Amino acid sequence: MVELADDPPRASPGARGEAPRQARAVATRGTILGAAAEEFAAASYHEASLSRILERSGVTKGALYFHFVSKESIALAVVDEMEGICRAMVERCGALGLDPLRTAAQVARAVQDELDGPVLRAGQRLCSEGFSGPHRPGWPYRFWQDVFEDLFARAAADGLLVPTVDPASLARTFTDVSGGAFVASLAITGLDDLARRVCENWELVLGCVADPAWLDGWRREGGMTAVLGPHVGRASDGSRGWVPEP
Amino acid sequence: MVELADDPPRASPGARGEAPRQARAVATRGTILGAAAEEFAAASYHEASLSRILERSGVTKGALYFHFVSKESIALAVVDEMEGICRAMVERCGALGLDPLRTAAQVARAVQDELDGPVLRAGQRLCSEGFSGPHRPGWPYRFWQDVFEDLFARAAADGLLVPTVDPASLARTFTDVSGGAFVASLAITGLDDLARRVCENWELVLGCVADPAWLDGWRREGGMTAVLGPHVGRASDGSRGWVPEP
């Protein structure tokens, strides 16, 4: 597919000049998506406005409508971006060489890192609002369930979980508590207390499903508070985060 | 405020005939709200259509627009109804005379009962989509957080919780896991596995925060599976619910 940037679409563009035109088109599309992510992160799908996305992006109306036919198509493209970020995140965390439970905790940390930017914030908000797109049924909940189930099954095989714990059930609980922390924190504090909620939830649930020996070691490292690092230690300067009480 | 049913609004209606007219108006409004709840339970706010609400309700367009100025105002009225149901539910559960932890579990059961109807299903879906209304900040998450915090503080005072558990933190975790079970189950299974998720989540979390003696007694009664009753025992006939594995 040939895409043009700020020009109206043409039926059969010549081969000469394709490369820079395509590069420009990709750049323009990225500019629009960045602006859309900021808009959808700040407002619900219903409240979000195409004209504010236009304003934020600085591109022409023609360019926007060349790349996207509707607010819905922009929203779905933001969720596409989110999907790429999530898959890369899981791969990166898997490559750290940690045990499966520590890998799961690192995934939670990586999600907090990415939520500092607008794409994951907008994507997760759109998904909470049911905007994951028909080509991605159950996204991102089914995805996280699969990721966690894989990690917890390996943790069980390695003896890192209490033997009565079912990895699939635990994966559902972590998916629920994570998805719920987002919607509840968004509704109550505009995501200000999200890292605190995540920290508490992981401490509580890991505290009752992890093997006591693993837990001892993990707690000596500082537990979830240490994993979440700056996210739970930034409340004193007014930014997002949480300083645990002494 | 004077409301009329199927007639166009009149500036100054006479006193005669007010009572039946008002009764009719209340009935018409209820019919519209019932139809709207069915529509918003089946579709996202974005997908829901006023013309399908009209069709479902069987009232005239004029009657609908007399009572509600927009899709948004109908959605907010459905959340009003949900709020009333939730508050009544908490009162009813509190009046059962159970200890605070059993009361909390009964609240979870009552929510499942009400989710069999369209109002709570629609209301919770609308809230997940950010449609709680500006006059209800944080609804329903802040509400449930307060309800659970009150119950867990009393449970702690009665020695029903492990001493290291903070009631406010535990209330946030239950709010997160409950709100998340709804959005994840809606996205993955259209709410088919919601009762199962709730059952697993409560068994897991109560299993690690409740006092061992309380837990022994509760488990002898059948635990969360018994509390949720028909909701977790209906999957075999294809309806919503879950039969726990033997």
CA distances from residue B106 to A11, A240, B109, B116, B244 in whole angstroms, order as listed: 65, 35, 5, 16, 19
Q: Say what the pLDDT of residue B11 is.
A: 47
Q: Comparing A68 with A130, which gets the higher pLDDT? A: A68
Give a yes or no: residue B246 inside a domain.
no
Residue B168 and residue A245 in contact, taking contact as beta carbons nearer than 8 Å: no
| Percentage of the residues of chain A whose pLDDT score is greater than 70 | 88
Tens of pLDDT, residue by residue over A152-171, are 999 999 999 999 999 999 99
A-chain CB neighbours of B74 within 8 Å are none
Chains A, B: CB pairs < 8 Å: 148
Determine contact: B175 vs chain A, CB below 8 A: yes
Q: Tell me the backbone φ, ψ of residue B121, rounded to 5 degrees.
A: -60, -45
Interface contact A207-B208, CB threshold 8 A: yes
A-chain CB neighbours of B181 within 8 Å are 176, 180
Given a cut of 80, is residue B138 above it in pLDDT? Answer: yes
Q: Are residues A87 and A59 in the same domain?
A: no
- Distance, in angstroms, between B141 CA and closest chain A CA? 5
A-chain CB neighbours of B47 within 8 Å are 130
Q: Say what the pLDDT of residue B23 is.
A: 87
* Boundary residue ending a domain (B29, B46, B69): B69
Q: What is the mean pLDDT of chain A?
A: 89
Tens of pLDDT, residue by residue over B44-58, are 998 999 999 999 999
Give the Cα separation of A242 and A245 in Å (integer): 9
A-chain CB neighbours of B244 within 8 Å are none
Q: Say what the pLDDT of residue A12 is.
A: 52
Query: How many CB atoms neighbour CB A30 within 10 A?
Result: 13
Q: Are residues B166 and B215 in the same domain?
A: yes
B-chain CB neighbours of A169 within 8 Å are 200, 204
Chain A nearest-CA residue for B200: A169
Q: Say what the pLDDT of residue B137 is.
A: 92
Give the Cα separation of A146 and A174 in Å (integer): 11
Q: Are residues B52 and B120 in the same domain?
A: no
Q: Are residues A87 and A39 in the same domain?
A: no
Q: How confident is the model at residue B240 (pLDDT cuts 50, 70, 90)?
A: very low
The three-state (H, E, C) secondary structure of B53-86, written as one string? HHHHHCCCHHHHHHHCCCHHHHHHHHHHHHHHHH
Q: Are residues A48 and A85 in the same domain?
A: no
Chain B nearest-CA residue for A143: B188
Determine contact: A178 vs chain B, CB below 8 A: yes
Biggest CA-to-CA distance, chain A? 68
Given a cut of 60, is residue A186 above it in pLDDT? Answer: yes
Chain A nearest-CA residue for B181: A176
The three-state (H, E, C) secondary structure of B86-155, written as one string? HHHHHHHHHCCCCCHHHHHHHHHHHHHHHHCCHHHHHHHHHHHCCCCCCCCCCCCHHHHHHHHHHHHHHH
- Distance, in angstroms, between B104 CA and closest chain A CA? 18
Residue A127 and residue A243 in contact, taking contact as beta carbons nearer than 8 Å: no
Q: Tell me the backbone φ, ψ of residue B40, rounded to 5 degrees.
A: -75, -20
Q: Are residues A63 and A142 in the same domain?
A: no
Residue A122 and residue A40 in contact, taking contact as beta carbons nearer than 8 Å: yes
Q: Say what the pLDDT of residue A18 is.
A: 80
Give the Cα separation of A76 and A67 in Å (integer): 13
Given a cut of 50, is residue B238 above it in pLDDT? Answer: no
| Domain around B218 | 76-237
Interface contact A177-B127, CB threshold 8 A: no
Chosen for mutation from B128, B132, B165, B170 (greatest number of chain A CBs closer than 10 Å) is B128
Q: Are residues A38 and A10 in the same domain?
A: yes
Give a yes or no: residue B245 inside a domain.
no
* Boundary residue ending a domain (A20, A44, A69): A69
Q: Are residues B45 and B86 in the same domain?
A: no
Residue A233 CB partners (closer than 8 Å, separation 6+): A241, A242, A243
Give a yes or no: residue B132 inside a domain.
yes
- Distance, in angstroms, between A10 CA and closest chain B CA? 33
Give a yes or no: residue A244 inside a domain.
no
